[in-house]
Amino acid sequence: MSRFTTYAIKEITSSFLFLSILLTGIIWLGQGLRHIDLLTTNNVSIQTYLSYVVLLLPKIILLTFPICIFLAILFNLNRLRNDSELIILGTSGKSEKNILIKPIIIFSSLMFFVVLLFSIFLTPGSLKELRYKIIEIRSSGIHISLLKEKKFISPTNNFTIFLQEKKNNEIFGLLIHDQSNIDKPQTYIAEKGKFISSDNVSFLKLYNGSIQIYDSSVNRVSEIAFDTYNLDLTPYNKKEGTHIYADELSTVDIRNNLENISPKDFSKYEKEQFAELHKRFVNPIYIIFYALLPLLMINFSKRPDDSWRYPIIAVTAIAFSIQIFQITFSNLLIDNVQLVTLYYTFPLILIFITIIYLYKDFLHLLRNQNV
């Protein structure tokens, strides 16, 4: 490996790590702050909260890596040009593209396997653990952090709560509907409520309200007014089952689930698993395309001294357009499993077209020599 190839890989890697830490950190911090109420208004320890937000990282990394790879190579190509290093490289007798493509291919190949590792193993595993962590938090009790103002929320089965406002550990303008007893459903209305918990007992203390009890056996509603009332939440704090989403299943589990089923017999959930399985293998292929794309700036510039402003805008627009199409195509595959061949073929076609366009001048020269 030449000195320039080693130098270029080192520079691209440094830029990639900086961009990844920056972009992933910003998104991760935003997600962490979004769930900070688990720590401030819930009975959740700092260790549980930190383990929760750490489990968000693999999915964020999988989302940010492709764009960071593209931007890292784009930035370094632009820097090489602004520092006149591309012109110096051109004096060696080789074209700029021939010199630059080797470090880019090596770097993108390494990143392909890194993204593949995240896509197939790390991200599904972290999402599954995240789901269990949510269940663990929710099963520890009905908490104020689970409630939203002016929305009907069902933290558990057969229990629905509506509130106008919440402040700290208190809620105001309450309406609670309890259907745990199907024959005698109860509706609680109160001006204010406060969550209180100690040891294994938790309850909601209600102020200035009433309880409406409907007795289905006699088709009658009775009402009881109260100044204060302690609503025991312990019966509602049992651990519940959960639906495991396709992206939370391991790759091996999905393959086993679909092994003996014909695609035409797939249920909605099995179609989701099918699309998720192939997405894990296809998305890393796009890494090669995003890495090669910045090289098109050289083709877009008619002369060495031309500005790269418009080529940079052009390749960036292409990158974001393909990423949007990539997400759209993944969603289309759920309802159209017959598109799976095209799903794999499309990124390969993109890579092939990019390489052909990069070396069209060389192919044109070769054809003229044969004539």
**φ, ψ at 314 (rounded to 5°):** -65, -50
CA 297/CA 291 separation, integer angstroms: 12
pLDDT 10s digits, 197-256: 665 667 888 999 999 999 888 888 899 999 999 988 766 655 444 568 899 999 999 999
State whether the Cα torsion 69-75-78-79 is positive or negative: negative
Segment 354-359 mean pLDDT: 85
CA 243/CA 137 separation, integer angstroms: 16
Contact 146, 153 (CB under 8 A): yes
Report helix, strand or coil for 205: strand
pLDDT 10s digits, 101-115: 889 999 999 999 999
Q: To the nearest 10°, the Cα dihedral for 268, 273, 278, 279?
A: 90
Among the residue ranges 55-69, 169-183, 238-252, 276-290, the one predicted with the least confidence is 238-252
Contact 329, 255 (CB under 8 A): no
Beta 153-156 vs 159-162: how paired, if at all? antiparallel
Q: In this model, does residue 27 exceed pLDDT 60? A: yes
DSSP-assigned beta bridge partners for residue 174 = 190
Neighbours of 138 (CB within 10 A): 19
Q: Which value, in Å, is the radius of gyration of the alpha carbons in the chain?
A: 29
Q: In this model, does residue 123 exceed pLDDT 60? A: yes
Q: In this model, does residue 153 exceed pLDDT 80? A: no
DSSP element (H, E) containing 160 = strand 159-162
CA 153/CA 172 separation, integer angstroms: 15
Kindly report the average pLDDT of the chain as a whole number. Answer: 84
**φ, ψ at 241 (rounded to 5°):** -70, 175
Per-residue pLDDT band at 323 (split at 50, 70, 90): very high
What residues contact 296, with CB distance under 8 A and at least 6 apart? 311, 314, 315, 318, 354, 357, 358
Give the pLDDT score at 365.
Answer: 42
